[in-house]
Structure 1
Amino acid sequence: MERTRGIAEAVSAVRRGELLVLPTDTVYGVGADAFTPAAVQALLDAKGRGRDMPPPVLVGSVRAATALVEDLGTYGQDLIDEFWPGALTLIFRANQNLMWDLGETKGTVAVRMPMHELAVELLKETGPLAVSSANLSGEPAARTAEEAEKMLGDSISVYLDGGRSGHADPSTIVDLTGSVPRLLRVGAIPEDKIRSVVGVLLTDEDEAPEPAELTAAPSAAAESKPSLTKQPAAEPAQPPAEPAEAPTEPPPAPKEAAETTEAPQPKDD
């Protein structure tokens, strides 16, 4: 009865556009209706975050996830089959027909289905929730409802206490918005297990551009394709020898060295 009443109160809070704290298989999360912009903004405010750090979305089923994205791409279904429900967050291009505002997502959405019975039961009642770890920005993520309440206090309408969370590691994050999967964060699922499914997996070490190669470095989530091989710069032409006497006509300007360019990277997230 206590469980049923808790879920009912949490669902009511979500429908009123209020915040709740819920247990997951990783750490406790603070959640809001993903389709209520004011609630999502309240979530960011409660954590002390800006719109440049949009929250991921938790879903109660794979079907709910597929409704949020354009498509699963080449690797999405395989990763879902292997690791969902579980501690793997996947970044896709968001369905452009959805009326929501999660922040500055640049047209993408991070989605996860947790392996937690209470969380999934709640998500099937509420629909997709924008959920971020239940802590103030910069503080350790809460592993109990009590830890979450100490940090978030009255900004949360309902605290669902499901006991201590499964483990302290956050979810692993993989970006699937490019042609090759990119590992954005190592978490509860090891890198080698991801590689065993997708084969090729980019990491930050795979792309370490020199300062001269980029005029503006994209965010980690925006880099989704491997860099193309850089062509060597052409040797600059030698300037003409200076004449003994001042010429009547100015000497021709030396040819500029061919600039090295690199194929632009897509700005995804």
Structure 2
Amino acid sequence: MQTGKAIQHAARLIREGKLVAFPTETVYGLGANAFNPDAVANIFRLKERPSFDPLIVHVANLEQAASLSKHSDDRIRLLAEKFWPGPLTIVVEKNERVPDIVTSGLNTVGIRMPDHPLALRLISEAQTPIAAPSANKFGRISPTRAEHVANQLPDVPYIIDGGPTTVGIESSVIRLHDDGFVMLRPGAVSSEEIKKVIPESHIRIEKEDEFHSPGQIKSHYSPQKSMFLGISDFNDSDLSNGGLIAWGTPEYASKFKKVEYLSKTRNSEEAAINLFNALHTMEAADVEFIIADTVPEEGIGIAIMDRLKKAAYRHRNNAS
């Protein structure tokens, strides 16, 4: 765990317009002063991130959240009382202080309060909201450990090492509308939980060419090796040069060269924590391809399958 002096140093870098990678409970973020467009531009450059993909802004308190939003909305307070700090991002109409580069030119901004003591200390010490996507090259595997950041982004000026993350997948993202909300990206907070606080929109269709949230692109979280979902198409294949990301302890695991277990007990929360580290491990392993077991699409399993489908999309789409 980093010392107070390390946090003070990182906060000074943020105030000076530099980038800092820092831990949250979900994944590691690559942060910059959200009100400094030049600093935010360096996030896009270092990540090789396309300009159409907006960033989430992280805050340490409701006052900072209010400094980003165009309108006061009691629903933000209700959601914050229930889910913040925590893995929920709320997309609202932004005010003029938020640079267009943060939101990719949209009139909305995603805001969340991370549930990690180092992240909250960094934001408070920097005295500014921090814009931060995941600290990895665009489209690649998200980082859940400091070494994942260092491997993909060796030029990042400073990394705060907070150990492994405790949720393991990115936040749920909702967009507020006059009649409720829509889920833009699944995560640890489910629609059912949110509906207990505010209603869900009855009918709402987002424009396909507008990405109001990160993680909406079909191909994302991708390893640099061929990846497939499910074992069913490979029952008669030679699996001895492959890697398996396993759900439970399947008998066919012995056929693979390397196995990483999401959860031997089929615990979805444990699987979420282990997901991205398993992908990083397989990407670095001496295997020719990766097969990932599917998990039940209920609860946080919906978010796990969202990440696995997007991780496998590039190879599946190129092969078809």
TM-score, normalised to structure 2, is: 0.61
Displacement of 1:107 in angstroms is 1.4
Alpha-carbon distance change, 187 to 105 in structure 1, aligned in 2, over 3 angstroms: farther
| 1:52-73 deviation per Cα after TM superposition (whole angstroms, max 9, x unaligned) | 1121100111111012102243
1:59 alignment partner AA = V
**1:139 alignment counterpart:** 140
Q: What is the total number of aligned residue pairs between the two structures?
A: 212
Give ranges in structure 2 of 5+ residues lacking alignment. Answer: 214-320
Verify: 1:221 aligned to 2:212, yes or no: yes
Verify: 1:200 aligned to 2:190, yes or no: no
Question: Aligned residues: percent identity?
Answer: 31
**1:64 alignment counterpart:** 64
| Higher percent of residues as strand | 2
1:158 alignment partner AA = Y
3-state SS, counterpart of residue 75 of structure 1 = helix
The CA distance in 2 between the partners of 1:142 and 1:218, in whole Å, is 27
**2:152 alignment counterpart:** 151
Q: List aligned pairs for 1:93-112, cutoff 5 A.
A: 93-98=93-98, 101-112=101-112
Of 68-77 and 137-146, deviating more is: 68-77
Displacement of 1:180 in angstroms is 2.6
1:191 alignment partner AA = S
CA RMSD of aligned residues (A): 2.3
The CA distance in 1 between the partners of 2:61 and 2:205, in whole Å, is 37
Structure 2 contact 35–97 (Cα < 8 Å) conserved: no
**1:121 alignment counterpart:** 121
3-state SS, counterpart of residue 159 of structure 1 = coil
Alpha-carbon distance change, 120 to 97 in structure 1, aligned in 2, over 3 angstroms: closer
Structure 2 contact 37–99 (Cα < 8 Å) conserved: no
Displacement of 1:76 in angstroms is 2.1
Larger radius of gyration: 1
Alpha-carbon distance change, 149 to 208 in structure 1, aligned in 2, over 3 angstroms: same
Alpha-carbon distance change, 208 to 104 in structure 1, aligned in 2, over 3 angstroms: closer
Structure 2 contact 27–165 (Cα < 8 Å) conserved: yes
**2:34 alignment counterpart:** 34
Structure 2 contact 25–114 (Cα < 8 Å) conserved: yes
2:96 alignment partner AA = Q
| Higher percent of residues as helix | 2
